[in-house]
Amino acid sequence: MEAENYLLCVDNMKKSFGITKALKGVQLQLKSGEILGLIGENGSGKSTLTSIIAGIQPADSGGILFHGEPYSIQNSVEANEKGICMILQEKATFDNLSVAHNVFIGNEKEFCKHGILNNKLIFEKAREVLKKIGVTEIDVKDKIKNRSFEDGKLVELARAANLNPQILIVDETTTALSQNGRDILYTMMENMKKEGKSVIFISHDIDEMMSKCDRLSILRDGDYIGTLEKEEYSPEKIKSLMVGRTITDNYYREDTKSSYGDEIVLKAENITTSNLKDVSFELHKGEILGFGGLADSGMHDIGKAAFGAIHIKKGKVVDGQNEQIYSPSVAMKKKIAYIGKNRDQESLFVNSPIRDNVALPSYKIIAKNTFVSPTKERKFVEEWTTKLDVKMQNIDQYVSELSGGNKQKVAIAKWLGFGADIFILDCPTRGIDIGVKASIYKLLTDLKNRGKSIILISEELPEVIGMCDRVVVLKNGQNSGIFVREDDLTENKLINYMV
Ligand SMILES: Nc1ncnc2c1ncn2[C@@H]1O[C@H](COP(=O)(O)OP(=O)(O)OP(=O)(O)O)[C@@H](O)[C@H]1O
Ligand SMILES: [Mg+2]
């Protein structure tokens, strides 16, 4: 196929940030009516490439043809006007605006008459747009800050749908969504395809990429490696092209029997929150206790409640000494660490260096008589960023400059470094590539073997089955089944208790 016959054709694109060469002469070809997957490890250049296509930042050099014509745009508004839209990996909604205003951000003009914004019309139209993509449960008048991270992403989807783009770029969005949200996104992608429009889809989930994408382009370290046709797909081939070496498939825990101490280190007694009803559980020393369920199962409240970070209406969470954990500061004093799903907002200072972010909760460990030795701090931070393979220039680089997955790694390094006894992890491998996933699972197994206890909340069933001693399945805010690690624990078995 000649370059001009593709809908979009990127040639020899280069982009550097200081000494980091994010794109080293990359190409990409997108056909009309296809879903093209873009895959590569954290920091390989996927977001940089697609954000250039979407007008968010300029390339240093290289050309783009769109409909066979040179495509030059100054910003994302111009890209939108030409028919290219992107759902960003990072949050792109405005907290203090309503859902409806977020849907139409940048297009308020349409609702203005004599300089006055017709809010009633905005609400009405937002409801329509959301409904069109299949979202009916979000109150359009609600401020975004009162909605979940997932709802924010659905609002971004609605915003894109409303612009009716020719090309939609979806950057690492699925891991922010529940199954229901994913289905909404997949339907939207399939519909675009039927209409002869195209999607560039980014995800670290290889199974998802193989099932959704018509072709798959691979980036490695800023280089274009190649494109696979559907009939060439195999997980091994994709993985080895991504990382440049063969990697083993089995990265979960190897033992297939549950094993943990008798000592109870954390206990929830009939807790009721706005999303949970009468849930009880016990976490043992050396145990990995998993929680799985659908988005509305209340699973994310488990972590917040166990860390004292949300209001518990009834019941309580206590530690091994029967002392109540009612606030995050109490939890931290008891050496409990919590990594929330919405890590960027909840636990990173993106406008500070990696060094400060990782060292912050651990100053007591690093400092001697309130004096923090810079050498000791550096060693500590370097140890943890190396363990998690954070791709960075050095530890003084700002977190804001890191790729999405590498930001996540910093958040995880920060809390794993904090030497807690209990780790509460909500979707810890969200947005993280397979190589580093494997190291995180290994770190979790090491923690367990050292007698630490872990609560693992995850939307990825293979992950909870692969890692946990016991799995609690939640449904409508209640415990609907508890499963002990064994050889024949399957996803289907758990799903039966989820729906
Ligand atoms: N504004 C910036 N300043 C400095 N470096 C940057 C900036 N944006 C990206 N980079 C660097 O460019 C490289 C590519 O980043 P990019 O975000 O494109 O990766 P990615 O493939 O999207 O990774 P992920 O899967 O983690 O999202 C990384 O090394 C990143 O740190
Ligand atoms: Mg990215």
pLDDT at 250: 67
Residues 6+ apart with CB under 8 A from 114: none
Ligand nearest to the CA of 397: 1
Query: Ligand 1 centroid vs 198 CA: distance in angstroms?
Result: 24
Q: How many C-beta atoms lie closer than 10 Å to residue 406's C-beta? A: 25
Query: Ligand 2 centroid vs 457 CA: distance in angstroms?
Result: 23
E-assigned strands of 306-350?
314-319, 336-339
CA atoms of 130 and 125, how far apart (whole Å)? 9
- Tell me 453's DSSP state: E
Residue owning tokens 């080895």: 240
CA atoms of 125 and 162, how far apart (whole Å)? 10
Least confident of 12-16, 364-368, 421-425: 364-368
- Does an H or E element contain 215, and which? strand 215-220
Residues 6+ apart with CB under 8 A from 13: 23, 25, 26, 27, 28, 49, 52, 59, 61, 62, 63, 64
- Which residues share a beta bridge with 479? 474
CA atoms of 126 and 298, how far apart (whole Å)? 27
**Is the model's pLDDT at 5 over the cut of 90?**
no
| Cβ(242) – ligand 1 distance below 6 Å | no
Instruction: Give the model's confidence band at 245: pLDDT under 50 very low, under 70 low, under 90 confident, else very high.
Output: low
Per-residue pLDDT, averaged over 470-480, amounts to 95
Q: What CATH code is assigned to 3-243?
A: 3.40.50.300
**Is the model's pLDDT at 256 over the cut of 90?**
no
Q: What percent of the chain has pLDDT over 70?
A: 97
pLDDT at 474: 95
pLDDT at 40: 94
Structure token digits, residue 423? 């780790």
**Is the model's pLDDT at 375 over the cut of 80?**
yes
Among protein residues, the one whose CA lies closest to atom 18 of ligand 1: 45
pLDDT at 44: 94
Ligand nearest to the CA of 171: 2
Model pLDDT for residues 106-162, shown as the tens digit of each residue: 888 788 888 788 889 999 999 999 999 999 989 999 999 999 888 999 999 999 999
| Cβ(40) – ligand 1 distance below 6 Å | yes
**Is the model's pLDDT at 408 over the cut of 70?**
yes
**Is the model's pLDDT at 478 over the cut of 80?**
yes
Model pLDDT for residues 53-111, shown as the tens digit of each residue: 999 999 999 999 999 999 989 999 999 999 999 999 888 899 999 999 999 988 887 88
Same fold, 3-243 and 264-498: yes
**Is the model's pLDDT at 347 over the cut of 80?**
no
Residue owning tokens 């395809």: 193
pLDDT at 372: 79
How many CA atoms lie less than 13 Å away from 116 in the CB half-sphere?
3
Model pLDDT for residues 190-201, shown as the tens digit of each residue: 999 999 999 999
**Is the model's pLDDT at 362 over the cut of 90?**
no
Per-residue pLDDT, averaged over 359-376, amounts to 83
Helices and strands of the chain, counted as H and E runs: 18, 21
Among protein residues, the one whose CA lies closest to atom 5 of ligand 1: 401
3 state DSSP class of 395: coil
CA atoms of 464 and 472, how far apart (whole Å)? 10
Q: What percent of the chain has pLDDT over 90?
A: 70
Among protein residues, the one whose CA lies closest to atom 1 of ligand 1: 401
CA atoms of 359 and 173, how far apart (whole Å)? 29
Q: Which atom of ligand 1 is nearest to the CA of 41?
A: 25
**Which is it for the CA torsion 348, 471, 317, 448, positive or negative?**
negative
pLDDT at 114: 80
| Cβ(408) – ligand 1 distance below 6 Å | no
Q: Which atom of ligand 1 is nearest to the CA of 44?
A: 21
CA atoms of 101 and 98, how far apart (whole Å)? 5
Residue owning tokens 């954000």: 51
pLDDT at 482: 95
pLDDT at 296: 78
Query: Ligand 1 centroid vs 135 CA: distance in angstroms?
Result: 32
Residues in the chain: 499
CA atoms of 438 and 323, how far apart (whole Å)? 35
Query: Ligand 2 centroid vs 46 CA: distance in angstroms?
Result: 6
**Interstrand relation of 478-484 and 116-117 (parallel, antiparallel or unpaired):** unpaired
Task: Report the chain's mean pLDDT, rounded to a whole number.
Answer: 91
Among protein residues, the one whose CA lies closest to atom 29 of ligand 1: 43
Helical spans, DSSP H, in 454-490: 461-467
Domain range summary for the chain, segments of one domain joined by +: 3-243, 264-498
CB 40 within 8 A of CB 63: no
Which value, in Å, is the radius of gyration of the alpha carbons in the chain?
Answer: 23
**Interstrand relation of 8-17 and 20-30 (parallel, antiparallel or unpaired):** antiparallel
CATH entry 3.30.1370.60 includes domain 264-498: no
